[in-house]
Amino acid sequence: MRSSEHPAVNGTEWIVDARGCSAESLRSLDQLRALLEQIISDLDLRTIGETHWHQFPGSGGITGLCLLTESHLALHTFPEHGSLCLNLFCCRPHKQWDFERGLAKLFSASTVDVQAVLRDYVSSEEQEPALHLRESR
């Protein structure tokens, strides 16, 4: 049972997989920087320091990580597969960015799957009893 002195606090983690992206765009550090800057600006997120980038050699992809006061924003590109994987975690309630439209526009993504995971922060004493469901065969 939750205590009234500790109200429920929750955040959301978005796990995003974009497929059918232009391989050239997935190798473009400028386009990836623009993506993170757009998300940060649109959602009014606060960065901690500079975004860290790693570009793999040859025609490899790029990994980026931005620390936020709200948590983090990370992405990985796989040009050889035409895919981009993105993870945004906000430790406080926040609206969802339009990942489908943004990734289609910037990377020509043909499909974008977005999973939103609600995270509830409570102590074990405050946690409601869990309901476990079993799949019957």
Q: What string of DSSP letters covers 51-75?
A: PEEEE-STT--EEEEEEBSSEEEEE
Name the nearest CA neighbour of 91 among 125, 67, 62, 126.
67
> Which tokens in the block code for residue 70?
């709200």
pLDDT digit string (tens) for the chain, length 137 residues: 444 555 556 889 999 999 999 999 999 999 999 999 999 999 999 999 999 999 999 888 999 999 999 899 999 999 999 999 999 999 888 889 999 999 999 999 999 999 999 887 765 565 554 443 434 33
Name the nearest CA neighbour of 94 among 130, 59, 69, 75.
69
47: three-class secondary structure by DSSP = strand
Q: What is the pLDDT, as a whole number, of residue 119?
A: 82
| CATH hierarchy code of domain 22-112 | 3.60.90.10
Radius of gyration of the chain (CA): 18
Cβ–Cβ contacts within 10 Å for residue 91, how many? 17
Distance (Å, whole) CA 33 – CA 54: 12
**Alpha helix stretches (DSSP H) within the chain:** 23-26, 29-42, 99-107
Q: What is the pLDDT, as a whole number, of residue 10?
A: 82
> Which tokens in the block code for residue 115?
């999973």
> Which tokens in the block code for residue 82?
């035409």
